[in-house]
């Protein structure tokens, strides 16, 4: 007959084995959590498919896939982002037709920021919100809830001006809007862009705003938008919603 002491020893050994197994699993889980937390910004986000976001003005969208950036994080983030996001063409779709844009390689921060916002689906919540006839049409804003929601999540930062190499405000140039107040460095808004529709250009804006692309087809569409009816603030009476996709040539 086996003694109670031997039974007790067996039970103790079994409990120790179970405890060790649990500790090992816990260590593996903690190690995985540590790796996930240390992933560089942009790695997970850049692997997402392009997002299409239809909106009706009051719709709230899912922004959980977006990494919020600070001014200090902007350049390191975009430097890493560039390795997986090499698109240099964009298509802006509107009810009037499509506008095809070449994104210049030189103003790389502006190009990469535009590519990122397009892939996140930000521009698909916006419209051409300013139309100045025979001057510019400006897009990248709206009065929709989704637009302000995404702006807040994307981050409060500006893009440093990129004037070299110099790209001028010729007819069809695509440039970044900016906040005029207390902006002595001519840094750009990350959200809004405009297309020059003035035939002889808008050269008084050269080296005041960063030109980061040009229209390669669809200026007839831009001209149609340029002639729509607007209110006193140059906002079109009827919204001109846009969808933007980016691609490699």
Of the ranges 45-49, 80-84, 163-167, 218-222, which one carries the lowest mean pLDDT score?
45-49
Q: Does residue 184 carry a pLDDT above 50?
A: yes
186 within 8 A of 178, measured Cβ to Cβ: yes
% of the chain at pLDDT higher than 90: 72
Domain ranges of the chain: 43-247
| Averaged pLDDT for residues 215-227 | 98
Report the candidate in 148, 149, 151, 143 with the shortest Cα–Cα distance to residue 113.
151
Q: Superfamily assignment of 43-247 in CATH? A: Cyclophilin-like (2.40.100.10)
Tokens describing residue 208: 């005041």
pTM: 0.80
């Amino acid at each position: 007959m086996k003694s109670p002491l031997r039974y007790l020893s067996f039970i103790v050994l079994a409990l120790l084995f179970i405890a060790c197994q649990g500790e090992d699993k816990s260590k593996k889980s903690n190690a995985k959590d540590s790796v996930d937390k240390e992933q560089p910004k942009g790695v997970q986000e850049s692997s997402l498919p392009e997002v299409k976001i239809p909106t009706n003005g009051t719709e709230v969208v899912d922004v959980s896939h977006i990494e919020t950036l600070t001014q200090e994080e902007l350049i390191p983030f975009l430097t890493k982002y560039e390795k997986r996001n090499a698109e240099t063409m964009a298509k802006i779709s509107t009810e009037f037709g499509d506008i095809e844009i070449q994104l210049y390689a030189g103003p790389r921060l502006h190009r990469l920021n535009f590519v990122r916002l397009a892939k996140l689906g930000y521009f698909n919540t916006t419209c051409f919100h300013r139309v100045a006839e025979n001057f510019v049409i400006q897009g990248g804003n709206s009065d929709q809830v989704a637009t302000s929601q995404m702006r807040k999540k994307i981050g409060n930062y500006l893009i440093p001006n990129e004037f070299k190499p110099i790209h001028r405000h010729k007819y069809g140039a695509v440039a970044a809007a900016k906040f005029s107040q207390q902006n002595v460095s001519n840094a750009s808004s990350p959200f809004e862009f405009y297309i020059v529709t003035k035939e002889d250009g808008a050269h008084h804006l050269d080296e005041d705003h960063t030109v980061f692309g040009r229209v390669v087809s669809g200026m007839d569409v831009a001209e149609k938008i340029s002639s729509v009816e607007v209110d006193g603030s140059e906002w079109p009476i009827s919204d001109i919603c846009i969808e933007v996709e980016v691609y490699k040539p």
